[in-house]
């Protein structure tokens, strides 16, 4: 019996936030898209979040190429374990990265999110559904508040306020990959079992947008674009248009006082999966 829903068309865009290599990564297989956002660290090092995103992303791509219908949590746990063992990483002392996976399996789409790189769905009836992991934003609240207040009072960004930023990162590390804290890709394979997961019939969906928080902040924080429908409209024209729109919003807040954040420009990576025509998506979002 022929597949009633064509394979998704995938289009992507990326942009580094600063004058150094991006810590975001996008990997694709014949039936999956993997988006990772390596966490920036106050201390410099060769094994930073971007390094871990590269290592884990490569291993995930290999695993899902060899076993395209494997359980996504099993694939992610295996990738973390492989990188941990190969590079002798220690839980609590390793860099970290988010991961989002969209995978076509038969007539379904499997979705996995671990960390703050969300997936946004556009249904065939024009509704928006969001797949998110909000746990990181719910820890170290006092340290978040202290850093943001320092930025509001004195301007600059997180890396300009080293003590406050380091305190935030330390507080987050203390509850990383632990019950009551948050779960993230690092050196603990069991974190994969705590990912947010959903499965949707592909025939119910028109488009899927998966991205790092450097892109999702456009809607979530800057209201530029104002809605997810508007964001998908831009990405449907070309994902680079969405990336540039968010980047330009950050340009309008050059000292970080309006939207306190760690960097003037975050790295940005986005993938749009079309499960119908671009023209139909445009009709649903306008």
pLDDT digits (tens, 9 = 90+) for 213-224: 999 999 999 999
Given a contact cutoff of 8 angstroms between Cβ atoms, the answer to whether 138 and 65 are in contact is no
**C-alpha to C-alpha distance for 48 and 43, rounded to whole angstroms:** 9
Length of the chain: 286
Q: Which domains does the chain have, with CATH numbers?
A: 9-277 (3.60.40.10)
Pair of tokens at residue 120: 């946004």
- Angle, helix 228-237 to helix 239-251, in steps of 10 degrees: 120
The residue among 103, 117, 131, 127 whose CA lies nearest residue 205 is: 127
Mean per-residue pLDDT, 50-75: 98
The residue among 276, 283, 267 whose CA lies nearest residue 25 is: 267
Given a contact cutoff of 8 angstroms between Cβ atoms, the answer to whether 195 and 264 are in contact is no
Residue 41 pLDDT > 70:
yes
* pLDDT tens digit sequence for 183-200: 999 999 999 999 999 999
Residue 281 pLDDT > 90:
yes
Peptide bond into 245 cis (omega under 30): no
pLDDT of residue 158: 79
Which residues, other chains included, contact 79 with Cβ-Cβ below 8 Å and sequence gap of 6+?
A: 56, 59, 60, 63
pLDDT band at 8 (very low <50, low <70, confident <90, very high): confident
Residue 63 pLDDT > 50:
yes
**Which pTM does this prediction carry?**
0.94
Q: What are phi and psi of 32, to 5 degrees?
A: -145, 155
Residue 178 pLDDT > 70:
yes
pLDDT band at 3 (very low <50, low <70, confident <90, very high): very low
Residue 2 pLDDT > 80:
no
What is the SS3 assignment for 209-248?
Answer: EEECHHHHHHHHHHCCCCCHHHHHHHHHHCHHHHHHHHHH
Angle at 35 between CA 267 and CA 46, to 5 degrees: 55
Distances (CA, A) of 274 to 16, 198, 260: 25, 18, 34
Mean per-residue pLDDT, 146-161: 86
What's the mean per-residue pLDDT of the chain?
A: 94
The residue among 207, 181, 214 whose CA lies nearest residue 23 is: 214
Residue 20 pLDDT > 90:
no
């Amino acid at each position: 019996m022929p597949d009633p829903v064509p394979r998704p068309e995938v289009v992507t865009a990326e942009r580094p936030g600063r004058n150094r290599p991006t810590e975001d990564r996008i990997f694709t297989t014949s039936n999956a898209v993997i988006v990772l956002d390596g966490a920036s660290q106050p201390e410099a090092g060769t094994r930073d979040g971007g390094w871990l995103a590269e290592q884990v992303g490569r291993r995930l791509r290999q695993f899902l190429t060899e076993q395209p219908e494997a359980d996504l949590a099993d694939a992610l746990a295996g990738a973390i374990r492989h990188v941990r063992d190969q590079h002798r990483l220690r839980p609590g002392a390793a860099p970290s990265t988010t991961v989002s996976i969209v995978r076509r399996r038969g007539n379904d789409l499997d979705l996995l999110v671990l960390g703050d790189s969300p997936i946004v769905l556009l249904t065939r009836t024009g509704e928006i559904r969001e797949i998110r992991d909000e746990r990181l934003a719910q820890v170290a609240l006092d340290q978040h508040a202290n850093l943001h207040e320092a930025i509001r009072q004195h301007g600059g960004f997180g890396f300009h306020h080293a003590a406050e930023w380091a305190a935030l990162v330390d507080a987050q590390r203390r509850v990383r990959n632990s019950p009551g804290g948050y779960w993230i890709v690092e050196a603990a394979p069991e974190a994969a079992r705590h990912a947010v997961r959903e499965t949707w019939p592909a025939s119910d969906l028109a488009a899927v947008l998966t991205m790092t928080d450097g892109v999702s902040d456009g809607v979530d924080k800057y209201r530029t674009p104002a809605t997810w429908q508007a964001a998908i409209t831009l990405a449907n024209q070309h994902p680079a248009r969405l990336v540039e729109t968010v980047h330009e919003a950050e340009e309008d807040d050059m000292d970080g006082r309006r939207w306190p954040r760690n960097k003037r420009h975050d790295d940005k990576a986005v993938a749009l999966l079309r499960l119908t025509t671009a023209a139909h998506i445009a009709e649903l979002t306008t």
